[in-house]
Amino acid sequence: MRTYLLAAIVFATFTAASYVKASDEVEEPSDDVGDDADDAADDATDDASEDAADEAADDAADAAADDADDPGEDAADEAGDAGEDAAEDAAEDAIDPSSDDDMDDMDDSLGDAADDDEAASDIEGIDATEDDAADEPVELEQDDEAASENEDDSDVSESAESNAGDEPGELNIDADSGPRPGSPSLEATKGDSVDPFHIEIDENGDEVVADEVLALVSDADELLALQEAGFESRIIELLPTLGLQLVSIKVQPSQARQVIERLKSAAPKIMVTRNHLFAAGAIGTAAPQRSNIRRNTDRRGTVGLIDGTVNRSLFDSSLEMRTANFGWENSAMGHGTAVASRLSDAGVRRVYSANIFHGRRAPAVALLRALEWMAYEKVPVINISLAGPENQLVNRAIKILVDRGHAVVAAVGNNGPASPPLFPAAVPGVVAVTAVDRQGRIYRRAVHGAHIAFAAPGVDVPTIDGDGATRSSSGTSFAAPVVSARVARILAVPDVKQRNRAITDIAKVALDRGKPGRDPVFGHGIIGLR
């Protein structure tokens, strides 16, 4: 029986192998004939495999029966089984020697296909994410393009990160200034001279933020009065050192004036005004040799600088500088650095620099935040080299500082002799400074007025711009630092009596020009003319 089965397996194997070999050697006259031959070979292979499997099963059953009947034949049976296994293996190899490898390859292929599907799915997900991400920064890229387009306007602004004036964030103070718990806050932003505000001209001809009204409240009752009057308001800044809370009220641009009148009627004690915009003066273009600049190397005094960004890398370590950013990063760097260079050349030892510009303009909100910082740091002398419209909230903050003994020094502005007084120089108690040339002649664009305290060199004076280039600059912005530096050499800390004494002492040594005594062109006279 076993002999017959073994012979049948061998015969089937030989027949199938021969058929496969013959089909492989046949020259195929057409695709159809080749396909038929392949199908026949596959059928023969399948049949032979099935026959071999059936015969192997029968053989196994017979072997089990024989074992049960005659245990003594185990040795012979095992020998026969071994031979049959060898024959079956040979038959399987003859049918398809690579079947095991093909199955492994198929498994691998299926696994690879699954992996490929997963990878494709992952790639699609990544592509989708990248597509979403590509959509999101469009606005930022547009801002970057605007920044590039405005690089030519470096006289006004060098660069500026989103509308930082809308939401409070973290004050950006350099590490060397140390921690400041309870300090004012505003998230600095990158960008350029594109203004983030909806600007309009108010009834007085001043630039303002069109859709915002500001109010200062000093206690919870005043804030409650605003809310009871039906206005949607939010506290955008606490000014704890000044004892004030700054409230923003969003309005329709065309309704701002009516809203202010309603607020004043509903809460008479609350100070309400528009969010006015201030601008820095232009800087010069000529470039004298740096060696011609006469510096005061005897460094003394501390001055706060409220202006644009200062490029600190252009100053050596003899000038200590601490910075805070209340505007857009790198805004008005040309002007801010130029004014800082005037303080440095005048011999100031330490500068607290506050950037308040958002592109080309500085809102009253940012100026208030900078004044709060100066109050917190107890900076004795505060230089403000910008000018603009009167803002009652700024006036209030400056009055608080003056009453505490700070010396606030401000440029009178460059709108010409016929201009009305500009602010904050015209705020009572502020030391207002105009500009003269090397011969002591008044700057032709300087504002005149009874508020002027001193004149100082500010026409064709050497300055450094934001890129480190030396320029010849003109404007009252560059005269004010000369007076600030002189006051700082006397006033070490905020003190009313010491501040008043310093102003009196400087007035005594001022070079009197114009009408004898104090006049609306030169004030008490010229300081720093060499």
Which among 285, 289, 272, 280 has a CA at the least distance from the CA of 309?
280
For 172-231, the pLDDT digits (tens) are 333 233 333 333 333 333 333 455 778 999 988 999 999 999 998 877 888 787 777 777
Q: Of 116-130, 165-179, 293-307, 515-529, which range is least confident?
A: 165-179
Pairing of strands 271-279, 207-217: antiparallel
To the query of whether residue 318 is one of the catalytic residues in this protein, the response is: no
Phi-psi group of 187: left, alpha or beta (phi > 0 → left; psi -120 to 50 → alpha; rest → beta) = beta
Taken in order 415, 421, 427, 430, the sign of the CA dihedral is positive
pLDDT digits (tens, 9 = 90+) for 383-431: 999 999 999 999 999 999 999 999 999 999 999 999 999 999 999 999 9
What does the alpha-carbon distance between residue 80 and residue 56 come to, in Å, rounded to a whole number?
12
Q: Active site residue: 183, 477, 484, 524, which one?
A: 477
Tens digit of each residue's pLDDT (9 = 90 or more) over 423-470: 999 999 999 999 999 999 999 999 999 999 999 999 999 999 999 999
Residue 316 catalytic? yes
Whole-angstrom distance, CA of residue 109 vs CA of residue 103: 10
Q: Please pick, among 51, 59, 154, 335, the residue that the annotation labels catalytic.
A: 335
The string of DSSP letters for 62-106 reads HHHHHHHH-GGGHHHHHHHHHHHHHHHHHHHHHH-TTHHHHHHHH
pTM: 0.65
The token duo for 166 is 């809308």
Contact indicator for 397, 372 with CB cutoff of 8 Å: yes
Helix (H) or strand (E) segment spanning residue 431:
strand 431-436
Q: If we measure between CA atoms, which residue out of 75, 15, 76 comes closest to residue 49?
A: 15
Which segments of 226-340 are extended strands (E)? 233-239, 244-250, 271-279, 302-307, 320-325
Catalytic residue among 132, 152, 316, 317: 316
- Residue by residue, DSSP assigns 170-181 as --EE-GGG---T
Whether pLDDT at 519 is above 70: yes
